[in-house]
Structure formats: C-alpha cells, structure tokens
Amino acid sequence: MAGPLGQGWGLGIALRSRAALRPLGLLAPPCRGATAPQCRRVTGSGEEVLEENPFYGKYRHKIQELRRSSPDVFESRMEKRNEVKKQPVGYSKQSEFVRRMEEKAEGLSTRTSKEGFTRDKTLDSILNVEMVKEKSAEEIKQIWNQYFSAKDTVYAVIPAEKFDLIWKRAQKCPSFLYALPRKEGYEFFVGQWSGTELHFTSLINIQTQGEAAPSQLVLYHYPELQEEKGIVLMTAEMDSKFLVVHEAQCLANQVQLFYATDCSETYELVETFNHRSSEFKYMSVIAKLEHSGLGKALRPNQVSDKS
C-alpha cells in the first residue's frame, strides 16, 4: 500500500491490523492571521498558555513532570517561548532554535536507546547484505517490501539519483518544519538530519524540552547498495504513543515533497527555514501540503452541503 507521492519510490506502509484507521481532519489553522503556529498572546502562566494548544493533552504528563522536577527549567523555557510568541517560527531567534536542534542531533546516538528506538540500526541487522548483492535491484526491492509488509512501519526503496538529491540538500539544510493534519488544524514537527537518519520531534516538545526533546519518528536510510544497485533502502521506527503509521507516512512523504522536488519554489521553503529565517512563513508549508494532496488520507469524509 503506497502513499500518494510514495508510489514512485515504492514507499509503503504495513499494518498488522487491516482495520481502517479513523480519518483525521485537515482544517484551517485556528488563527489565520497569525505569524506563528501558536498565535495567542501570553497573558497567564506558561502552562496556562500551553493548555490552549490543542495538542497539549498528548504531552501533559511530560510537561507536568518537568514542571514538578525542575520548576526553574520549566519557567525558563516558558519565558524563552514567550519571547518569540509574536514572531514567525524562528524569526530573530531562529539561529538559537537551529543551535538547539544541532545540539539535539549531537546527542541523538546516546538517547535513542532510552527512547525505545534502535541504536546504531544497521542494514546488516535487517538483511544479509552480501547475499542480496547477488540479486538485482528489483529482486531486492521485492525482498524489502515483503519483509516489511507484516510490520507496523513505513518503508521505501528510493532511486539512487533521488536520494543523492535529498542527501546533498540535507547537508546544506539539515532541518525543516513539517505540518501534520489534525482535526484541530495542524500539528507541527521538526525534522532534523543526523547522518542518514532523519529524526522528527513535535514543535511543542522542542518548545518545552529544548534539546532534550525525544524523537517520535526516525527514518533510517541505507545507502550501502546505492552505487552497485542504484537504490537506497529506508525503514522507520516511531513512538506509537504519539503517531500511528498513516501519520508517519504523511511525514515521510513530505520529505520527498520538500527535499526531492524539482520545483525550486518548493525547495526554497527549506532553504529559507535554514538560512533566511526572518522570511520563513509556516503557512507556505501548509499551502504546499494541501496542494500536493498528501493530507487527503488524513481528512475526514466531507459531507456535501448539497442535497
């Protein structure tokens, strides 16, 4: 079962349960005139403001735990969050935001095992690389797809030239803001490259936990067969408490949308986020997502007003 843009890659999802997931809404953001994903002015305590975020409930336990265990750290992070409340994502503080993401990337290898993700997940741990080298690219693709078809995950076989484009761009622009359609509007995730791994963390997690924010989705890319077979294999691990497979697939498809695009205007959003932060507008990400149709699978069934 392939995603809307994943068909060219062989990007698919695998579910042990074939029961259909309840569709999720793709609605306009609560504050269209705002310049940041969370756009209400700060008038109360840090947690009171966070409670107005429609996704606060999902992270309530960790936020309250931080507030109890380290109240000074909690208040400090709320103060920093409030300072940039009126600015676009990253505006004058984008360099600080990127710095924190870089610090997070440096610590990823030491924290992934604690977060439930596989540390140093190699291709050899999944299949016998030497053995598959005797097979054609198409045969390897079939083996890869068959292996993951019985697992709750996202996976892909990416053409070498397409991954080469993604990889070159990831070196220049290692992070980006992604939008995941929800009933309440959109939940924003930051994707940060660490080697050939792409780690996703929700924006609210970063705002409350800084560089300690745990990964919620990791895409593992394996270029070992890129030169000889012309393919790069990809699979993923996710925190099922925060994401289901269809949502992870939507984020994975957006990597192709923004990093593998032939449209200079689309990739320019990635460049702007990394290098011209004062010009970045998160609404442009939502517009591209809607135009691509990637969010359609997460939309609720719309009932026509016509009788």
Check residue 16 and report its DSSP letter.
S
Residue 225, burial from CB neighbour count under 10 angstroms (0-12, 13-18, 19+) = buried
Q: How far is residue 269's CA from residue 255's CA, in Å, rounded to a whole number? A: 12
Predicted local confidence at residue 305, as pLDDT: 40
Higher pLDDT, 85 or 213: 213
> How many helices (DSSP H) and strands (DSSP E) are in the chain?
12, 7
Predicted local confidence at residue 207, as pLDDT: 87
Looking at 7-11, 61-65, 105-109, 243-247, which range is the least confident one? Answer: 105-109
Q: What is the pLDDT of residue 20?
A: 26
Query: Is residue 170 domain-resident?
Result: yes
Highest-confidence segment of 203-212, 226-235, 291-300: 226-235
Instruction: Tell me how far apart the alpha carbons of residues 89 and 81 are, in angstroms, rounded to a whole number.
Output: 11
pLDDT, position 30: 36
Mean pLDDT of 275-285: 94
Residue 191: predicted pLDDT: 97
Give the Cβ contact number of residue 10 at 10 Å: 19
**Could you report the per-residue pLDDT of 59-72, keeping only the tens digit for each?**
666 666 666 766 76
Tokens 């569709």 label which residue? 23
d(CA 218, CA 202): 12
| Average pLDDT value for the chain | 75
* Residue 260 maps to a domain: yes
Q: Is residue 59 part of a domain?
A: no
Q: Rounded to an integer, what distance in angstroms lies between the CA atom of residue 72 and that of residue 54?
A: 25
Q: Encoding tokens for residue 256?
A: 């192709």
Task: Tell me whether residue 216 is in a domain.
Answer: yes
16 pLDDT above the threshold of 90: no
pLDDT surpassing 60 at residue 90: no
Note the pLDDT of residue 260: 97
Domain that holds residue 159: 94-109+121-298
Residue written as token pair 């993923």: 236
Query: CB within 8 A of 292, min separation 6: which ones?
Result: 4, 5, 257
Evaluate whether residue 18 is within a structural domain.
Answer: no
Between 64 and 143, whose confidence is greater?
Answer: 143
User: Does a structural domain hold residue 285?
Assistant: yes
pLDDT digit string, tens, across residues 97-124: 445 555 555 554 444 444 567 777 899 9
What band does 250 get if pLDDT is binned at 50, 70 and 90?
very high
Q: Confidence band (pLDDT; 50, 70, 90) for 87? A: very low
Task: Select the more confidently predicted residue: 114 or 155.
Answer: 155
How high is the pLDDT of residue 267?
97
Lowest mean pLDDT of 18-22, 145-149, 269-273, name the range: 18-22
* Per-residue pLDDT, 91: 40
Residue 253 inside a domain? The answer is yes
The whole-number pLDDT of residue 307 equals: 36
76-80, 205-209, 222-226, 229-233: least confident range: 76-80
pLDDT top residue among 79 and 82: 79
Report if residue 13 sits inside a domain. no
Q: What is the mean predicted confidence (pLDDT) over 137-156?
A: 94
Long-range CB contacts (within 8 A, 24+) of 52-61: 53/204, 54/30, 54/182, 54/184, 54/185, 55/182, 55/184, 55/187, 55/202, 55/204, 56/204, 58/242, 59/202, 59/204, 59/205, 59/208
Query: How many domains is the chain partitioned into structurally?
Result: 1
